[in-house]
Homo-oligomer: A and B are copies of this chain.
Amino acid sequence: MAVRVDLNISLDGFATTTDQTPEKPFGDDWPRLTGAYVATRTFRERVLGDTSGSGTTGVDDRYAATYFEEIGAEVMGAGMFGLHTFPDDPDWRGWWGDEPPFRCPVFVLTHTPRESISFANGTVFHFVSASPQQALALATEAAGGKDVRVGGGATVAREFLAAGLVDRLHVAIAPILLGRGIRLWDDLRGLESGYEVTAETAESGTVHLTFSR
């Protein structure tokens, strides 16, 4: 069982854009940051429900497929679930419609209690006020021997990385400079110690970097 993080970042290290509005909840920068991933066959099938077989099938798709393999539970921040964007909507059920791509228990970190939300495809959102260690303990138990993903956002991922809780970090680095947003790498000096770091370049120009231990 491993704790895994997968993020899309820009060359200048921004993992979350900051030009979001309620009308544009991901901002204008988001499509450029995640474009190579969104273009993959795996993303189109798994997240968009497009079973036509369209989408890229190269290196980016290999990482996209790996992303979904062997994950038994997920932990994410309140912002990633959307609670910061829609704080006053008690019926908010996440960004993902009726088929959230997780298909496993997801523990959303928030100090505000909410009822759990279940979907037919196996996704269940639980809302917990917990430290990273406590959240991982819950997720690990729920994962039943499979891996646990810390999904994000950037601030949450960095918190788990800084605490030494992550076994495998995969970043897909888009060859673009955003110049603004939330930096993944802040205050992680020396993170590479104890990890093997490998890099691979995709046809899209995306650089896939993996820290494994």
Residues on A lying within 8 angstroms of B by beta carbon are: 11-13, 175-180, 183, 185-192, 197-201, 205, 207, 209
Contact = CB atoms under 8 A, between A and B. Distances in A.
A94 B123 CA distance: 63
Given A177-B188, A207-B207, 11 more contacts: A11-B192, A13-B13, A175-B199, A175-B209, A176-B190, A176-B192, A177-B189, A179-B185, A179-B190, A199-B205, A201-B207
A176 B193 CA distance: 9
A105 to B, nearest CB: 31
Contacts of A200: 201
A191 B177 contact: yes
Copies in the complex: 2
Q: Describe A's contact surface by its main secondary structure.
A: loop
A175 B207 CA distance: 12
Given A201-B201, A205-B197, A209-B11, A185 B189 contact: no
A37 to B, nearest CB: 16
Nearest to A161: B177
Contacts of A180: 189
A189 B186 CA distance: 18
Nearest to A179: B189
Contacts of A205: 197-199
A200 to B, nearest CB: 6
A15 to B, nearest CB: 12
Contacts of A178: 189
A199 B209 CA distance: 12
Contacts of A13: 11-13, 185
A201 B207 CA distance: 9
Contacts of A188: 12, 177, 179
A209 B200 CA distance: 12
Contacts of A187: 179
